[in-house]
Amino acid sequence: MSTQGSMSSSKPLTRPIRVGVVGLGRMGMIHALHIHELAQESDLCRLTCVSTTDRKSADTFLLLTGGSTPVFDDIEGLAKSGLCDVTVIATNTPLHREHSLMMIRRGQRVFLEKPLTGTLQGDREYAELLEREHPQALMLGFQRRFDAPI
């Protein structure tokens, strides 16, 4: 069964989308804070969990957001928690494929901070796998994709 129709944009949301963020480095922190802020302003989503191996980043995040979001020490804990429907992954590039596949295989939709894998050959192979086995399960984040020179 394809996961394509499970989160169709034509269906009205019956509850906020539960979002988890993996990695609280520079970009992960930005994504987590934006999701937290959006959740404060609307019923579109909720930041339901984060994971990081860096305790200092976790403490900073909790301080900035009021400390109520569950923090996992690793992606496996977040994956097993069942707390999110969608995962934003902003971990180190060499872990992108492993982490995104882990979450996709658990039924997640994934927003992956660029790059896809870090090598052209790796990107091609992973893109083929995603298209063949998990179409529309992953969106690659690239903030300058709409800039004319790019």
> Is this prediction's pTM over 0.75?
yes
Outline where 11-138 has alpha helix (H): 26-41, 55-65, 75-81, 96-104, 120-133
Q: Could you count the other beta carbons within 10 Å of the beta carbon of residue 149?
A: 4
Q: Is the pLDDT of residue 1 over 50?
A: no
How confident is the model over 117-141, as pLDDT tens digits? 999 999 999 999 999 999 999 999 8
Residue 142 confidence (pLDDT): 76
The neighbouring-strand residues paired with 20 are 49, 87
Residue 124 confidence (pLDDT): 95
Q: Is the pLDDT of residue 145 over 90?
A: no
How confident is the model over 91-124, as pLDDT tens digits? 999 999 999 999 999 999 999 999 899 999 999 9
Q: Which of 43, 51, 49 is closest to 17 using CA atoms?
A: 43
Average pLDDT (62-80) is 94
